[in-house]
Amino acid sequence: MLAMNLNLTPPEGGSFRDLNILITGASAGIGRALALHVAQLGATCLLLGRNIGALEAVYDEILEKGGPEPAIIPFDLSNLDPERLNEMVEAIADRYHTLDALVHNAAILGDRIPFQQYRLTTWSQVFRINFDAPVALTQALLPLLQRSNKGAILFMSSSVGKQPRAYWGAYASSKYAVEGFAKLLVDELHNTSNIRVSIVNPGATRTKMRKAAYPAEDPSSVKSPADLMPLLTVLISPFSDAPRGHRFESNGTGEPIGEV
């Protein structure tokens, strides 16, 4: 496979004006940082999450910093009731008509224990949020993404999504499944649509998930979510020349994940 290096020149201020970007898990960590960042570039953020208080804080911060008014989408991704999903999509379609980027960022870690001891209820919960939810949201929102000139779907994966490791249980397996689903989309969309599908492995990043996975680690020894912004913005920008159908590491190196 041909590896490539992405040009990570930051987009100009205001260049995301008139773009509608939906970010799952926008209440904390990388999703929160991305929402604040793209709003500063002029995008209208659709902040999806389960913690309304935390989403309101992101909403307020975007407005305080002069960004366009975002939307809060209260949605617990562990409950993918089709009726609620339809209502949500209809509300987005009515208000925004078009979606320019969908960022599948929300995830949970589950347990990090030997598979033999893994509780199947936890396993299902992890798969529901990390895998079923991106699949259901992609299917529901594809028509709105197709209305954009150059829509983007971004999957946040993990090193264990490419190469599962012992004791990473449902998290690794669900991310591996996510990467498989992204490859299917690349294959299915590359002749029929302009949508750019990408996978990112953000690598070690200072968030509550990282803290849960590595409680003894000094948080200052890993990069902050802000450090990922040049990469993530290039991958969701309709104006960048980032290739379609690639999987990227946090330093911008990427490889194709299908025929692109």
Ligand X SMILES: NC(=O)c1ccc[n+]([C@@H]2O[C@H](COP(=O)([O-])OP(=O)(O)OC[C@H]3O[C@@H](n4cnc5c(N)ncnc54)[C@H](OP(=O)(O)O)[C@@H]3O)[C@@H](O)[C@H]2O)c1
Which residue's beta carbon is nearest to the bound ligand X?
29
- Least distance from ligand X to the Cβ atom of residue 71, Å: 15
Active site residues: 171
Rounded Cα gap, residues 73 and 88, in angstroms:
8
Strands 253-256 and 4-5: antiparallel
Nearest CB to ligand X, comparing residues 125 and 146:
125
Rounded Cα gap, residues 42 and 18, in angstroms:
7
- Least distance from ligand X to the Cβ atom of residue 179, Å: 12
Nearest CB to ligand X, comparing residues 156 and 186:
156
Find residue 122's DSSP bridge partners. Answer: none
Rounded Cα gap, residues 78 and 217, in angstroms:
29
Nearest alpha carbon to residue 196 among 155, 225, 161: 155
CB atoms within 10 A of CB 251: 11
Rounded Cα gap, residues 82 and 68, in angstroms:
30
- Least distance from ligand X to the Cβ atom of residue 172, Å: 10
Find residue 154's DSSP bridge partners. Answer: 103, 198
**Interior CA angle at 176 toward 170 and 133, to 5°?**
70
Nearest CB to ligand X, comparing residues 25 and 258:
25
Rounded Cα gap, residues 225 and 206, in angstroms:
7
Nearest CB to ligand X, comparing residues 150 and 162:
162
Nearest CB to ligand X, comparing residues 32 and 244:
32
Binding region for ligand X (CB under 6 A): 25, 27-31, 49-51, 54, 76-78, 105-108, 129, 156, 158, 202-205, 207-210
Rounded Cα gap, residues 230 and 11, in angstroms:
8
- Least distance from ligand X to the Cβ atom of residue 18, Å: 26
Nearest alpha carbon to residue 241 among 11, 17, 42: 11
- Least distance from ligand X to the Cβ atom of residue 29, Å: 2
